[in-house]
C-alpha cells in the first residue's frame, strides 16, 4: 500500500524537502562542524551547545516532552490578531505554505500566512562559535503590513544534567545583561565559568524579555506566550528562575517589500583576568567582535557560501554516477553527510540520545572514523590519538571518554574485550587513505597520564596482545563485560533492576564466557596488523621509533591469527552457522541446540568477513543461514528466534521485548557485516538485496509513515519481524550504521578500496548492474574510474590506467589526474 509522503529528495541542492510539518516524528538536522553545534527539527525545535552536549549546553531542551519536540528557536509573527510561526510550531496556526529544507549543515524553514512569507536560514558559519538565523520577511500582499516580531530562545544553565534536576540551586542562579539589541546569558559567570552566551539581532529593538515566566505566563505555553498574544513585550530582567532571550521588533512592510534580520546565538570564552569590564559587568569585547563579523545580510551570505563550498569540496572526494538516483544520492550526499555527523557526535546528542548520557565510545569512534577518514584526514588522525590516549598499559581501554576533557569515563570503565581491536581497524583505515605512516610514530600516553607515552604502534601491538592474553577454554577470546553487543552480558548475572547491565560484573572470576564475534574481529584486524608489519618490515617506512623486528612481529601475529582460525573451525561452528558465544559455564550460545536465539548475526558477519573456513564451505553456509533465518522484509534481525524470557546468565539482550533493539531487532549496524561477507564471497545479488533493504532512499520511497524517523539517514534499529510493528525505525542519526554502510558500498559493492600503495578495484555487484563511474580523490591524485560489469557479480578481468594495462587489481598510486577503465 502507498504510504503518505511528507517530503522528497532534492538532489541538485543536496536537500531533503519536508512539505508537511506533521511528520511522523521530528525530522532533524545538525548544524556546525567543529566546536559549536545545534540540533534542529523540521519545526525549529532543538538546542545548541559548545563541544559537549552535557557540560556546555547553551539552550535548553526537554526530551520526551508533551507535545513532542517543544522548545527551540522560535519566531512569533503577530499580524493583526493572527500569531504564527514560520515552522508551524509552537503556535500551530495553519499555514498557507510550509517547507523545511534540510541541507548540508544548514536548514531553511519557510512559512506563509495571510500574504506574508517568512523564511529562516539556520547555520553555523565555519570556524565560528555561533548559530546564524537569517530571517527574511516578505510582504506578498497588496496591503501595507504592520507586523510584530518576537524571537525566542531559552537558556540552559550550562550543565545539561544538573539543569534538569538541581532546581533548589538553579532557580536562584540565572543572570542576564542587556545591551542594545543583545541579550547576554551570564549565569555562573561570576564564579568559576569564564564563558557566556548571547542572542543578538542586527536591528534596533522596541522591547525584549529575559524572564520566562514574565514572557510566557505561568499558565500559558510556548504556543501562546502572554507577551506575544498581547503584542506587548515586558522588558523583563531575569533574576534567577528561568532566563530566556526574546527580542521584540516592529516591522512595517510595503506591498512587495522584504526585509532581512540576522539573529545570532553566540558563545564566548574569556581569559581569567579579563572576565569583567567593570564590577559585575561582563567583558563583551569578543562578543562585539563576533557580532561585527556577522551583522549584515552580505556578511552572512558570504559565510553561507563558504559553508556550501566546504561541503562541495568534501563531497567531491568520492562521487559515483550509476544512473540509479536512489543509490547515487545516498553515496554522494546523505551517507557521507551522516558519517560526518556521527564522527562529530559519536552517540552523544540526537533526538534519542539526550546529550547527557554518553561521551565518545572507544569502539564507536574507531568505526565512525572509517566513514569519515577520506573527508578530513587530519581530524581522523587527531581522533585516533585521542582514543588511543585512553588505553591502559595492558591493552584494555576506557569504553568511553568525554569530548570536552578527552579523559576516560570512570563511571563506565573498561572491560569490553572487543574495544582494543577497533584501534587497529581505525588506524589501518587512516594509513591506507593517507599513506601517512608517521602516525605510528606518535607518542601516545596511557590513561592520559603524562610520562607514560609509547608509540602508537606499540598501542596497536598491545591491542592485539590483549586478545591473545585473554583467551578462554576453547582458545577463543574471553568476552569480558560485553563485545560489540553491549547487551550480551555474560558475566553480569543481575536480578537487581538498579544495576547497570553494562557496568555490573557479578561473576567474572572463573568465567568461561567466550565470543565468536571477537574471534572474527581478531582475525580480520589481525590480518591487517600482519600486513602492516610486513610493510614496515620492508623498510620503506622504517621510521617507527624504538626497536621492533617487524618481520618477526608479523610472523608472531600470523601464528596467533592462524590459531584463532583453527579454534573457530573446531569450537565455533554449529553445522550451518557460526556459534555466537560460550556462556559463563562454557555452554553454547547461538546454536541449534539452544531453545531460543539459535543464530546470531554478529558472528556470521565477522567470521564471514574473516573468511574462516571458506574452503570448507562454512562461509557460504553461514551466509545462506542469514538469508534463511535472519532476513525479513526490512533487513536482517540480530538473532532468531527472539528471546521470550529474561535469562540472567545472558543479561540485557533478553530484557527487551521480541523484535526490539538487541533482541531480534534489525540492528542496522551489523547488516553491512554480512553484506561484506557476501561481497567477499562474490555473491553480488545477495549483497545488493540486503543492502537495498536498509538503504534509506529505498525505504523513503515505500515506508515514510511506517518507518517514522528521518528517511534520509539510517537509524540504529528497525523493529524486527517479531516486533509489534515490523519496519518501524528508532534511534536515528547517531549509529555505526552510517560508517558501515559507507564502507560497504564505497569499498565492497562499488569496489574502490584505498590500500597502502594505491587503490584496489574489486567490485561486487548485482548481475543487473550497468556501467558506472567513480571519481575518487586520493591523496594528491584524482582518479576517474569507469567500471564495465558486463553482467558479472565479481571478478576484475582487466584494468587500464591512462590507457596502459595494469597488472593485478591495484592501481599504483601516483599524483595527478588519471583515467581508469575496468572490465569485469
Ligand atoms: C550501541 C552502542 C555500540 C554497541 C551497539 C550494540 O550502538 O553505541 O557501542 O556496539 O549499541 O550493542
Ligand atoms: C543499551 C542499548 C545498547 C547500547 C548501550 C549503551 O544497552 O541497548 O544499544 O549500546 O545501552 O550503553
| pLDDT number for residue 203 | 98
Neighbours of 241 (CB within 10 A): 15
Beta carbons of 249 and 202 less than 8 angstroms apart: no
Q: How confident is residue 796, by pLDDT bands cut at 50, 70 and 90?
A: very high
* Residue positions counted in the chain: 824
User: % helix / strand / coil in the chain, to the nearest 5?
Assistant: 30, 25, 40
Beta carbons of 593 and 587 less than 8 angstroms apart: no
Neighbours of 218 (CB within 10 A): 8
**Best CA proximity match to 111, nearest among 126, 123, 124, 101:** 101
Q: How far is the CA of 515 from the centre of ligand 1 (A)?
A: 16
**Best CA proximity match to 503, nearest among 374, 370, 652:** 652
| pLDDT number for residue 508 | 87
Q: Whose CA is nearest to atom 11 of ligand 2?
A: 486
DSSP string, 78-93: EETTEEE-TTSTTTTP
Q: How far is the CA of 485 from the centre of ligand 1 (A)?
A: 6
Q: How far is the CA of 712 from the centre of ligand 2 (A)?
A: 23
> pLDDT tens for residues 30-56?
999 989 999 999 999 999 999 999 999
Q: How confident is residue 540, by pLDDT bands cut at 50, 70 and 90?
A: low
d(CA 627, CA 633): 11
| pLDDT number for residue 312 | 98
199: left (phi over 0), alpha (psi -120 to 50) or beta: beta
> pLDDT tens for residues 583-642?
999 999 999 999 999 999 999 999 999 999 999 999 999 999 999 999 999 999 999 999
- Written as nine digits, the cell of 93 is 496556526
Mean of pLDDT values over 452-472: 97
> 18: which residues sit within 8 A by CB, 6+ positions away?
6, 7, 27, 42, 99, 100, 101, 102
Minimum-distance ligand to the CA of 361? 1
- Written as nine digits, the cell of 33 is 562542524
Q: Whose CA is nearest to atom 6 of ligand 1?
A: 485
| pLDDT number for residue 141 | 98
Pocket of ligand 1 (CB under 6 A): 347, 361, 363-364, 484-487, 662, 716, 735
Beta carbons of 232 and 157 less than 8 angstroms apart: no
| pLDDT number for residue 404 | 79
Q: How far is the CA of 608 from the centre of ligand 1 (A)?
A: 20
- Written as nine digits, the cell of 547 is 626497536
**Best CA proximity match to 521, nearest among 584, 454, 572:** 572
Mean of pLDDT values over 686-695: 98
Residue 393, pLDDT > 60, answer yes
| pLDDT number for residue 603 | 98
Q: How confident is residue 783, by pLDDT bands cut at 50, 70 and 90?
A: very high
> 309: which residues sit within 8 A by CB, 6+ positions away?
none
Distances in Å between the Cα of 113 and the Cα atoms of 42, 92, 99, 137, 272 are 18, 12, 13, 11, 49
Cα 594 to chain centroid distance, Å, stands at 35
Please state, rounded to an integer, the average pLDDT across all residues of the chain. 96
Q: Measured from the CA of 736, which atom of ligand 1 is nearest?
A: 7
DSSP E strand stretches across 202-285: 207-211, 243-253, 258-269, 276-278, 281-282
Cα 182 to chain centroid distance, Å, stands at 34
- Written as nine digits, the cell of 693 is 533493504
| pLDDT number for residue 545 | 53
DSSP E strand stretches across 567-714: 581-582, 588-589, 599-600, 631-632, 635-636, 639-640, 666-667
> pLDDT tens for residues 548-588?
789 999 999 999 999 999 999 999 999 999 999 999 999 99
Beta carbons of 42 and 109 less than 8 angstroms apart: yes
Residue 727, pLDDT > 90, answer yes
d(CA 313, CA 419): 33
Q: Measured from the CA of 485, which atom of ligand 1 is nearest?
A: 12
How is residue 95 annotated by DSSP? P
Ligand 2 near 69 CB (within 6 A): no
Q: How confident is residue 225, by pLDDT bands cut at 50, 70 and 90?
A: very high
Triad 39, 48, 157: Cα angle to 5°: 140
Q: How confident is residue 283, by pLDDT bands cut at 50, 70 and 90?
A: very high
Secondary element (H or E) of residue 319: strand 318-321
Minimum-distance ligand to the CA of 416? 1
Mean of pLDDT values over 155-176: 97
Mean of pLDDT values over 682-704: 97
Q: Measured from the CA of 731, which atom of ligand 2 is nearest?
A: 9
Beta carbons of 358 and 160 less than 8 angstroms apart: no
Known catalytic residue: 802? no
Dihedral of alpha carbons 66, 67, 68, 69, sign:
negative
- The residue written with cell numbers 587500464 in the block is 800
Beta carbons of 625 and 604 less than 8 angstroms apart: yes
> pLDDT tens for residues 129-164?
999 999 999 999 999 999 999 999 999 999 999 999
Among candidate residues 52, 364, 419, 486, the one labeled active-site is 486
Q: How far is the CA of 346 from the centre of ligand 1 (A)?
A: 11
Q: How confident is residue 116, by pLDDT bands cut at 50, 70 and 90?
A: very high
d(CA 166, CA 182): 28
- Written as nine digits, the cell of 326 is 536512489
- The residue written with cell numbers 514574565 in the block is 214
pTM: 0.97
Mean of pLDDT values over 461-473: 98
Q: How confident is residue 505, by pLDDT bands cut at 50, 70 and 90?
A: very high
| pLDDT number for residue 542 | 52
For 560-581, letters b (16+ CB in 10 Å) and e give: bbeebbebbeebbbbebbbbbb
The helix/strand/coil state of 730 is strand
- Written as nine digits, the cell of 623 is 551466509
Q: Whose CA is nearest to atom 5 of ligand 2?
A: 486
Residue 537, pLDDT > 70, answer yes
> 189: which residues sit within 8 A by CB, 6+ positions away?
175, 195, 196, 275, 282
Q: How confident is residue 314, by pLDDT bands cut at 50, 70 and 90?
A: very high
| pLDDT number for residue 360 | 87
Mean of pLDDT values over 646-674: 98
Q: Measured from the CA of 501, which atom of ligand 2 is nearest?
A: 7
| pLDDT number for residue 405 | 84
For 606-615, letters b (16+ CB in 10 Å) and e give: bbbbbbbbbe
| pLDDT number for residue 402 | 82
d(CA 238, CA 244): 8
Q: Whose CA is nearest to atom 7 of ligand 1?
A: 735
> pLDDT tens for residues 736-749?
999 999 999 999 99
d(CA 583, CA 462): 26
Secondary element (H or E) of residue 134: strand 130-139
Amino acid at each position: 500500500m502507498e504510504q503518505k509522503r511528507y517530503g522528497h529528495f532534492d538532489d541538485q541542492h543536496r536537500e531533503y524537502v519536508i512539505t508537511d510539518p506533521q511528520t511522523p516524528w521530528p525530522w532533524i538536522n545538525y548544524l556546525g562542524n567543529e566546536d559549536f553545534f545545534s540540533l534542529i527539527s523540521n519545526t525549529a525545535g532543538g538546542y545548541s551547545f559548545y563541544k559537549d552536549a552535557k557540560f556546555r549546553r547553551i539552550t535548553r531542551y526537554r526530551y520526551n516532552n508533551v507535545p513532542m519536540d517543544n522548545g527551540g528557536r522560535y519566531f512569533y509573527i503577530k499580524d493583526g490578531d493572527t500569531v504564527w510561526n514560520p515552522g508551524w510550531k509552537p503556535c500551530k496556526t495553519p499555514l498557507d505554505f510550509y517547507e523545511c529544507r534540510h541541507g548540508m549543515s544548514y536548514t531553511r524553514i519557510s512559512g506563509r500566512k495571510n500574504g506574508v512569507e517568512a523564511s529562516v536560514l539556520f547555520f553555523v558559519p565555519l570556524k565560528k562559535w555561533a548559530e546564524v538565523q537569517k530571517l527574511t520577511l516578505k510582504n506578498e500582499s497588496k496591503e501595507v503590513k504592520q507586523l510584530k516580531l518576537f524571537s525566542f530562545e531559552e537558556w540552559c544553565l550550562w550543565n545539561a544534567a544538573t539543569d534538569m534536576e538541581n532546581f533548589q540551586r538553579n532557580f536562584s542562579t540565572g543572570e542576564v545583561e542587556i545591551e542594545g539589541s543583545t541579550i547576554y546569558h551570564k549565569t555562573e559567570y561570576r564564579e568559576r565559568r569564564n564563558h557566556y552566551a548571547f542572542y543578538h539581532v542586527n536591528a534596533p529593538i522596541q522591547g525584549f524579555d529575559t524572564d520566562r515566566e514574565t514572557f510566557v505566563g505561568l499558565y500559558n505555553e510556548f504556543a501562546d506566550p502572554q507577551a506575544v498574544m498581547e503584542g506587548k513585550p515586558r522588558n523583563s530582567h531575569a533574576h534567577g528562575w528561568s532566563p530566556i532571550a526574546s527580542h521584540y521588533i516592529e516591522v512595517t512592510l510595503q506591498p512587495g517589500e522584504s526585509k532581512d534580520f540576522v539573529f545570532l546565538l553566540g558563545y564566548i570564552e574569556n581569559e581569567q583576568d579579563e572576565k569583567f569590564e567593570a564590577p559585575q559587568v561582563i567583558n563583551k569585547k569578543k562578543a562585539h567582535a563576533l557580532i561585527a563579523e556577522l551583522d549584515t545580510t552580505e556578511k552572512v551570505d558570504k559565510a553561507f557560501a563558504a559553508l556550501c563550498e566546504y561541503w562541495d569540496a568534501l563531497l567531491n572526494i568520492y562521487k559515483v554516477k550509476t544512473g540509479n538516483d536512489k543509490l547515487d544520492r545516498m553515496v554522494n550526499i546523505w551517507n557521507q553527510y551522516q558519517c560526518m555527523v556521527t564522527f562529530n557526535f559519536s552517540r552523544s546528542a540526537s533526538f534519542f540520545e539526550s546529550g547527557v548520557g554518553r561521551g565518545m565510545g572507544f569502539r564507536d569512534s574507531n568505526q565512525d572514523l572509517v566513514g569519515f577518514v577520506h573527508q578530513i584526514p587530519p581530524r581522523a588522525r587527531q581522533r585516533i590519538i585521542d582514543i588511543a590516549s585512553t588505553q591502559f598499559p595492558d591493552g584494555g581501554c576506557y569504553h568511553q571518554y568525554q569530548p570536552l576533557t578527552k579523559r576516560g569515563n570512570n563511571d563506565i570503565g573498561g572491560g569490553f574485550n572487543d574495544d582494543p581491536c577497533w584501534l587497529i581497524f581505525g588506524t589501518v583505515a587512516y594509513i591506507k587513505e593517507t599513506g601517512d605512516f608517521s602516525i605510528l610514530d606518535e607518542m601516545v600516553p596511557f590513561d592520559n597520564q603524562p610520562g607514560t607515552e609509547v608509540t602508537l604502534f606499540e598501542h596497536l601491538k598491545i591491542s592485539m596482545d590483549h586478545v591473545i592474553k585473554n583467551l578462554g577454554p576453547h582458545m577463543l577470546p574471553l568476552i569480558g563485560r560485553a563485545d560489540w553487543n553491549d547487551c550480551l552480558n555474560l558475566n553480569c548475572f543481575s536480578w537487581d533492576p538498579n544495576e547497570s547491565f553494562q557496568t555490573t560484573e557479578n561473576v567474572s572470576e572463573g568465567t568461561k564466557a567466550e565470543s565468536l564475534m571477537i574471534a572474527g574481529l581478531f582475525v580480520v584486524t589481525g590480518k591487517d596488523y600482519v600486513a602492516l608489519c610486513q610493510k614496515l618490515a620492508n623498510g620503506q617506512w622504517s621510521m617507527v621509533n624504538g626497536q621492533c623486528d617487524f618481520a618477526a612481529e608479523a610472523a608472531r601475529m600470523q601464528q596467533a591469527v592462524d590459531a584463532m582460525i583453527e579454534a573457530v573451525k573446531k569450537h565455533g561452528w554449529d553445522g550451518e552457522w557460526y556459534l555466537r558465544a560460550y556462556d559463563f559455564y562454557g555452554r553454547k550460545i547461538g546454536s541449534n541446540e539452544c531453545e531460543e536465539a539459535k543464530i546470531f548475526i554478529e558472528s556470521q558477519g565477522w567470521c564471514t568477513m574473516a573468511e574462516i573456513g571458506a574452503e570448507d564451505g562454512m562461509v557460504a553456509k553461514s551466509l545462506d543461514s542469514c538469508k534463511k533465518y535472519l532476513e525479513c522484509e526490512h533487513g536482517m534481525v540480530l538473532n532468531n528466534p527472539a528471546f521470550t524470557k529474561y535469562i540472567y546468565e545472558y543479561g540485557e539482550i533478553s530484557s527487551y521485548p521480541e523484535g526490539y533493539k538487541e533482541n531480534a531487532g534489525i540492528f542496522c549496524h551489523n547488516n553491512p557485516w554480512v553484506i561484506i561477507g557476501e561481497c567477499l564471497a562474490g555473491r553480488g545479488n545477495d549483497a545488493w538485496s540486503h543492502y537495498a533493504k536498509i538503504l534509506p532512499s529505498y525505504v523513503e520511497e515505500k515506508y515514510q509513515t511506517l518507518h517514522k524517523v528521518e528517511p534520509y539517514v539510517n537509524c540504529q534499529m528497525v523493529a524486527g519481524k517479531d516486533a509489534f510493528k515490523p519496519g518501524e525505525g528508532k534511534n536515528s542519526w547517531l549509529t555505526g550504521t552510517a560508517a558501515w554502510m559507507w564502507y560497504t558500498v564505497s569499498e565492497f559493492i562499488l569496489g574502490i578500496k584505498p590500500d597502502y600503495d594505491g587503490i584496489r578495484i574489486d567490485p561486487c555487484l548485482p548481475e543487473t548492474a550497468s556501467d558506472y563511474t567513480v571519481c575518487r580523490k586520493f591523496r594528491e591524485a584524482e582518479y576517474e574510474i569507469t567500471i564495465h560489469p558486463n553482467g558479472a557479480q565479481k571478478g576484475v578481468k582487466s584494468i587500464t590506467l591512462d590507457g596502459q594495462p595494469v597488472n593485478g587489481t591495484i592501481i599504483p598510486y601516483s599524483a595527478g589526474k588519471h583515467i581508469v577503465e575496468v572490465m569485469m
